[in-house]
Amino acid sequence: MAIRAAIYVRISQDRGGAGLGVARQEEDCRALCARKGWDVVDVYPDNDVSAYSGAPRPKWQELLEDINEGDEGEALFGVDRLLVDPDTGTRALHRVLIPFTTADQAEQLAAAPDTEPEQIYAILTAAGHKLTWHETVSARMPLPDERSTLDTPDATPILHTTRVTLGTDDHPLLLEELRTNADRAQLAYRITADTSRRINAVRD
């Protein structure tokens, strides 16, 4: 049975009133769902709706109510960003997934799931968690939408990092993904004497 997915899109200001911004967001979300094999059951657009200082978002509230009435899967916040280095033009796609069970532990996350990751770590630490991280790095050829968004040259792989933030008792709190062109980026890590290293074989 395919996973059922709902799409939420929002633009703070739509000066032209044509809804082109939310339409592009919906197109990207539908492409992701198609790639994952998920069935889109509904779309919740808040066009020209600001979320500043807790301003009401009607479709967001409707989505939360529909989730609470259902009983399938685990509800979570998903935030996608396109990061661009102003000096080099290097692009990166960043995604963070925050389960509602994590957001329930910190009011700031429930109100603003698009909080920057560094601030999310601080919020979770203030909530009493001792954080650790598990990160996996792989290289692969980009999918068509990734190649277009990242402006990837022909025959160039991308770096794909997956980071799981663990809290007390190694309980997973959130998941982050970062994708960028392998010819324009480097990953650097601080390694200590007791840092474990492992190479996992990946089957095609």
Residue 66 has pLDDT above 70, yes or no: yes
Closest CA to 200 of 162, 143, 167, 158: 162
- Which residue has better confidence, 147 or 50? 147
- Which residue has better confidence, 48 or 114? 114
Answer whether 0.75 is exceeded by the pTM.
no
**H/E stretch holding 23:** helix 20-36
**What residue segments make up the domains of the chain, in order of their start?**
1-73, 76-204
Q: Tokens at residue 84, please?
A: 């661009």
The structural architecture, per CATH, of the domain 76-204 is 3-Layer(aba) Sandwich (3.40)
pLDDT at 157: 95
Residue 94 has pLDDT above 80, yes or no: yes
Residue 67 is which amino acid? I
pLDDT at 57: 75
Residue 24 has pLDDT above 90, yes or no: no
For 1-73, give the CATH class: alpha beta
Q: pLDDT tens for residues 170-193? A: 888 998 999 999 998 888 888 777
- Terminal alpha carbon distance of the chain: 24
